[in-house]
Chains A and B, each alone.
Chain A
Amino acid sequence: KNEVEQSPQNLTAQEGEFITINCSYSVGISALHWLQQHPGGGIVSLFMLSSGKKKHGRLIATINIQEKHSSLHITASHPRDSAVYICAVPLLDSGGGADGLTFGKGTHLIIQP
């Protein structure tokens, strides 16, 4: 069973700052997910990546499979980026098809104007 650790647990920053959230996991995986959860509870899938780096707007996600580590970066942060960011990996990675996920505890990000 995969274990997921995220850091930091809480992060408050000023608008415009560069944000980094880290995630490490215990067992090799086929892909890692970064999710965003808003106060109402709804979850948005930001990235699914299995190697290298992905970029979407001001969000960048990287993964190092050998080190079992991933980072989520936010450039030019804005108050609307305030949310909980969650890292998730397959609970039991079958290597193909869809697998149920196990989640990190999340990083509570607050961007102050």
Chain B
Amino acid sequence: GAVVSQHPSWVICKSGTSVKIECRSLDFQATTMFWYRQFPKQSLMLMATSNEGSKATYEQGVEKDKFLINHASLTLSTLTVTSAHPEDSSFYICSASRGSGTRQETQYFGPGTRLLVL
């Protein structure tokens, strides 16, 4: 149990286009989903926290108008990279938590999406 999927796993796009990445919890309801990115040879970094039905909370330095996050249901969150540029090329990974709200929760990670912007 507790499987998280991401789609697509790979995407190559031209500069200026928008790319949507989906994150799904397949066998549980995810109250909270997180979006992280990892540049080559660097640590994973939290981009934003998404709670179902409310606006995402973005970390400092992450442009909310560029990285649009939608968490419309308890099993799906989407990250849209708008007007992508080469510097947005990265590995984007989501995680999902059941969110009991009373204790620290295990996060279940998706397989990640590699984005290459030409």
Residues of A within 8 A of B (CB): 30-31, 33, 35, 40-45, 48, 50, 86, 88, 90-91, 93, 96-106
Interface of A is mostly: loop
Which residues from chain B contact A42 at a C-beta distance below 8 Å?
A: 109, 111-112
Shortest beta-carbon contacts, A-B, top 8: A98-B97, A31-B104, A43-B109, A100-B46, A98-B105, A30-B104, A98-B32, A41-B112
Complex CA distance for A96 and B108, rounded to whole angstroms: 17
B residues in contact with A103, CB < 8 Å? 43-45
Q: Name the A residues within 8 Å of B43 (CB-CB).
A: 86, 103-106
Give the chain A neighbours of B95 by CB distance below 8 A.
101
In contact, B32 and A97 (Cβ under 8 angstroms): yes
Considering only CB atoms, which chain A residue lies closest to B33 in the complex? A98
Q: What distance in Å separates the Cβ of A28 from its nearest Cβ neighbour in chain B?
A: 12
In the complex, the answer to whether A101 meets B46 with C-beta atoms within 8 Å is yes
Residues on A with C-beta less than 8 A from B42 are 105
Contact B104 A48 (CB under 8 A): yes
Report yes or no: A96 in contact with B103, Cβ–Cβ below 8 A: yes
* A97 lies within 8 A of B102 (CB): yes
Task: Give A49's nearest chain B residue, CB to CB.
Answer: B104
Among A44, A96, A97, A99, contact of B109 (Cβ-Cβ < 8 Å): A44
Chain A residues, CB < 8 A from B93: 41, 43
Docked-complex contact A97 and B100, CB < 8 angstroms: yes
With A and B bound together, what is the CA distance between A34 and B105 in angstroms? Answer: 13
